[in-house]
Each structure stands twice: as structure tokens, then as C-alpha cells.
Structure 1
């Protein structure tokens, strides 16, 4: 089983201190202010409605029992059941999970999905665990959170370093607990268990469609466009292949051990064939460079597709690109964005650019509820339609309010949350 991954550690100075929750709240406050919302709107939306911390005992292969910490944040359920992934990572924190849940709420608002945001995480290093240990951990997590999740409450999905097999174990455990088959409990499942065609590639496809919209607006051609993708896990690798096939020059990619750069374009099919199950390939080459140096190499488009905080105030002035598409969650800090705005570098925010995953998760949930499954062409067609509509809404909002795309995306997202909360009688706004 391959774990979709890139970086299982925060290294090479790529990460600042995790300020994701603070940055979410600061940008949320700014968007609420532009909309002239009363203070209680921000106070209500700045943190999750619910946050659960659990301890998960797991019997390890050596016979000992280890206790793992797990979290589930449900940001807001005014628009419908909450929705969000579960990540396995040694650096998972409550603050990160809360911020990710908030971002997911905004993402669902931007894309018009009948969901609020949620997120889960377990503090662990899946590289150091066997398949049996991962299965026991996955099942233990479901037992710990089973009372607050479900197909009409909170629908989990894959996230960083989890995959369809882990979703299958979680589905099976939930079915045992509830004593009935409930495919709509979780998305990102294997096709044989009710998963959707196109789900595994959905985030990458969404980033691609977003880039195509940017190229159309800027009158650029994808062919020979020089692209660097920071990250070669699930999202980055599929995206690299799509861009390569369309004639773009993927001049740089990176993994946890380093980066590869060639101004003439990398041989993406060769790299895909030779990477390991953790997306690592740079160790096969003597001319690899650091992740930091790769970010600063010359290109037209930089796509951070790994971890948060990789573009910060120390390196924002050194980037040599004109467009940034955020495929990862929170890769650009607030201070860095200010520098990039001054340099007139266009940044397409994560809550817009990487929304393909939750959109197709929604499609999977719909198919589960209907008991009728779509073709991959239908999934892709509807995904592209959603991405284009969402992008244009955010773009037009940025022009209307004279703000960058990130603030515009927050404005789009917060309006739906606030309106749903008002209609329920929770807020006056």
C-alpha cells in the first residue's frame, strides 16, 4: 500500500512556526470587515463549533500498546453536514486541524457545496508503521469519533498521508459499529466499496483547470509554460503528468529529500516510473538541490503542492515566478502574500485552487446516496464546471472590492456561512 505523501517532516527551513489558525482568523476578520459584518460573525466563525480530542490505544506488532493522539474539528454545520479529511502526520496539532476545518468551510462556500468544514488528524508517522498497525490505528480512530460522524453529520475523507485503503478500513469499522452498510459515511473509498471514478486525481485536475483559467485571463498558452511543482506526492505527481502531456515544461519538482531542476524540462514519465511509494525520487540523482533553492528557481508558474508555510517573508522576495497556484493547504504566509502583492505576483489561493478534492468527494457522496454511479467523463465534466464557476466568482469579487484573490475567496466563502447562520436564527448579519 502506498501512502500518498511528500514531506513527513518539517525540514530545510521550509516551515515557519505553525501559525495557520492565527492566519486563518486574521484573514477571516479582514473579509468580515470588508462585508461590514457585526463583530459576532467573526467571533462565531473564528473557531470550530466542536472540537474533539481522543486517545487511541493501538497494539503494535511487537506486542506493546502505544497511545496515539487524534483530533476532529467541526467548524460550522449551518449549511449542511461537515466534510473534511483525516491526516496522519507526526506534526499534527490542534491548531492546524482547527485552521484546516475553517478553510474547508470556506472552500465549501466558494464552490457552493451543501457542507460545512471539518478536519481530522492523528499524530503518527506512517512510514514507521506496518500495514497491520495502520489498520488498527484507523479502526481505533473511527471508534473514538463514531458518535459525532456519519453520512448526515460529518463525512471524512483522505488527506495528507492517508489513502483509499485507510478509508476502506474506516468504512468497515463504522459499518460494524452502526450495524448497517453506510457507504456515504466516508469518501475517497476504493471503487469496489462505492468510491467515485476520478476521486484520486480530483485535486490535481482542479489545480489544472484553475491554471487553465489563469492562462486564459492572462492570454498565456500552457504549451511550453515553465512550471515548478514543489511536492511529488499524489497531487504533485498527477499534476506534473497532466502538464507534461499538455506540452508544458515542468522544469522542477521536489520531495522530502530535495529537488530536481532542468530549465529544458524534466522527463516526468521517467520520474514517475522511478519514484518510491512515498513519492521520493530526488535521491536517485547526484544533481539534486534543496527544496529552498528549487522554490527560488526561475519559472512562469510555481505550484506549492506539499506542506504549509513554505513561502514566507524570508523567501518571498527571492521567488522568480509570475504566478503561484496553491495546491497545498496554507503554503503562503500572510506576510509573504503582502510581499508578493507588492511584486505583482498573482497568487491563486488554496481554498479555490485545491477544491477539486472536496468537489469530487461531494460527487461521491451524491452517488452513494443515489446508488447510481457516474462515468469518469461525467465526473471530470462536472468538476471542471464547478471550478470554472468558482474561479470566476472569486475573480469578479476581487475586482469588485479591489482585493487580491485570497481575500476575495474568503469573502465568497464567509458570505455563505454567514447567510446560512442568519437564516437558522443563529446570527444577526
Structure 2
């Protein structure tokens, strides 16, 4: 029977992955229930006084999935797709991601159901500050540390830091990561996720015997992750043949000029209508005949409906949850190597941890130190997953999740259950 994505959603997939890991590890039912349930959730109303004097109201959320290994860590996204179940799933994946790369964090995630492009900078500042004031009781440098995600950036983090600092009466750089450098941000943080995606992609190519010189890639998404990944892969000799964003997609057999495409996107707001390439249907990008496919936009883009048309030999998940459970089953039958999100895009949270450590030390590392330590942690995690996968005859997603869940369970059991 062909797998389907009936009742699909990111939380369904996240819980299914957890259930599979728990069954493999032989955990008791109580531990499974604990790991499947968020430790703390907050839903808030976020009223906004718009520039024209009218009032709008948006929904906001912050979910903290687990604290066994340390304070919660996770991004904040501004998107109309945000809902509580999506945030729950993303928070759970953050727990596994932090454990997999051995960071002293649990997972969290937050979001406001708003379209940033429909609002002025002043309105976005007011939304950010109001949302921050609403979740203030449950965030802090030793409680929960937000970071940028879809629809947010370093300016958003600066507003959160200032709002939090004003509330406690002194400057607290460690309350967020992904801040501007001048406010205590880490060198190398802006490109960390992209650099990590490219580093993992190159290791996956090596494993498959693919020479980067002459290899081809397609990248879905040209935002914070996809744009940098395209540049780093092109610098390594990979021909980046196709790139898409929310408004269009472009393709060139000879490889796109990523720098020129970036300048075009900066000027027009999209990769669409770039004169150095052919315009293609954005939905077709994931089915192009390339060596490496990098879905770096949103979750649920490779599904049971299109997985049988995927021709890439390697998928490196730059986004969170881009491949559904139904698609996973289909791709396993065609020997597609999928590097799961909790490993592939962990570069951002690794350097967020470095930024948090620097804030706690009041000391700044060099960009070379950040880059070397990032690649060291990712390489170690990559080899852990490859080895576990080989020993237990599991996919890389199964191996990565099982490794991460085991580490969280170990921390939970060592701490015990209070009272």
C-alpha cells in the first residue's frame, strides 16, 4: 500500500517519530507520555495599534517542551501559518536537536500569527514588544532564550532584549540570541544555519561518493537559510541550478549566479523574473533531477503526493519538518539519503549557544573560533548518526531521533521526578 499523509500535520509527524524512537529504546509508557507532552504552554492575545489608528489583535504562543538538559531554547516566528500545534511540534524537534548536538538546552518555540510583509517596521516593533511583555514571566537567560526564525530577524531580537531589560531594570544580553553584533551578538551567527547545512551536505556527498565539483543542487527557499546555503555550496564548487522563494522559482542548467540573484532579490523582493535564468513552477523544484535537494523554507513540502517524483539522491533538510512521514516511507524505498532537520539545520542553535555562552562570559570569540567550533560539533554529530544508523539498521532520521531521545531520557532519569 502506498503511504499517505492522512491527518498530516507537523505535530502528528513529531509524535510519530517520538513513538518510533521510544519503541526502539524500550522506554516505559510514563516516560513516553512525558516526552510527548510540553512542560509549559502559553497562548496570548497580542493587540496592535496600527499606524492608521485602528486596532488589530493577533494570537501569540510560546511552548517549552522540555527542561531536562537545561533552559529552553527556540526560535520565534511571525507567520499567518502559526498555530499551537505547529509550535508544539517545533518545540519538540528543538529538544531533540539540542540533545543531538549536545547542547545544555531543552526545546522551545514561539510564534505570532501575523504576516510581517503587511506591516510597517513601527507596527512590527509594537507587536514584538507587546508579545514580549505578555510572555515575560516565562522567558529569561536561565529559563527560555528566544532566537530568530521565519519572519523575524536580529532587529526583532534587539526589541525583545530591550523590552525584557527595561522590565528588570538592567541590560540582559543573554535573554535572546541572534542579536546584532553591537548588542552582544556572536560573529558568525547570521550565517550559522546556512553554513551548517552546506557542511552537512558536503559530508553527505562524500559519503555517497559525489564530487562537489560538478555536483548539482536545488534549494527551496531564499531566506536566512537557503540564501547562505546556496552561496556556501556554490563556493564549494556545486552547481546550484534552481532556487525558489514564496513568489517564484528560477533555473539554470549551467548554475545560477548566486551573488547576482541575491542582488536581484534585494532589489525586487523575490527571485522571480531574474534575467539570468529560466522561470519555473515553484512546486516543480523538489522534483528536479539534481544530486542534492535542500528544502529550506517551511514544513510539509515533500509529501506522499510528490515523493515518488523526487529525483535527488540526497535531501538535506534546511527547514524544520519539510518531509512528511508518508514521504519518508516512499523515499526510503528509492534509497534517497535524507539528512534530518534536527541534524542538518542545527548550525543556528549551536552558534546561538555560543552567543549565549559569550554573553554569560561578557567576552567575544573570533569568527574563526565560531566557525571551527561549529564545524567540530556538527561533524561529531554527523558521525554519531551515521554510526548509530549502521549499527541499528535505521534511517538517519530514526537514528538521530533515537540518539537525541535517549540523551534526554538519561538526563531525566538522573535528575529524578520531583516530588
Query: Fold match, TM over 0.5?
Result: yes
Is 1:233–1:279's contact at 8 Å kept on the other side of the alignment? Answer: no
Structure 1 position 357, deviation (Å)? 0.4
3-state SS of paired residue (1:283)? coil
TM-superposed CA distance for 1:301, in Å, is: 0.6
Alpha carbons 1:321, 1:345 under 8 Å: kept: yes
Q: What does 1:19-418 correspond to in 2, within 5 Å?
A: 19-276=9-266, 280-285=270-275, 287-418=278-409
Partners of 2:73 and 2:327 in 1: CA distance: 29
Scaled by the length of structure 1, what TM-score is found? 0.94
Tell me if structure 2 keeps the 8 A contact 1:257–1:283: no
Alignment partners' CA distance in 2, 1:39 and 1:191? 45
Please say which of residues 279-288 and 213-222 is displaced more in the overlay: 279-288
Cα shift at 1:101: 0.2
1:299-353 Cα distance to aligned partner (Å, 9 max, x none): 0111100011110011100011111000000000001000000000100000000
Is contact 2:92–2:108 with CA below 8 Å preserved after alignment? Answer: yes
Output the TM-score relative to the length of structure 2: 0.96
SS at match of 2:378: helix
Q: Is the 8 A contact 1:18 1:96 kept in 2?
A: no
Give ranges in structure 1 of 5+ residues lacking alignment: 1-14
**Contact 2:318-2:341 within 8 A present in 1 as well:** yes
Q: Deviations over 1:70-109 (max 9, x none)?
A: 0000000011000000000011010000000000000010
Distance 1:48 1:349, change over 3 A: same
Contact 2:87–2:110 (Cα < 8 Å) also in 1: yes
8 Å CA contact 1:210, 1:391 repeated in 2? yes
Check the 8 A contact 1:282/1:288 in 2, yes or no.
yes
The answer to whether the 8 Å contact 1:233/1:278 transfers is no
Q: Distance in 2 between matches of 1:283 and 1:379?
A: 37
| CA distance in 1: counterparts of 2:130 and 2:388, whole angstroms | 44
Describe the SS at the equivalent of 2:266: coil
The answer (yes or no) to whether the contact 1:97–1:120 under 8 Å persists in 2 is: yes
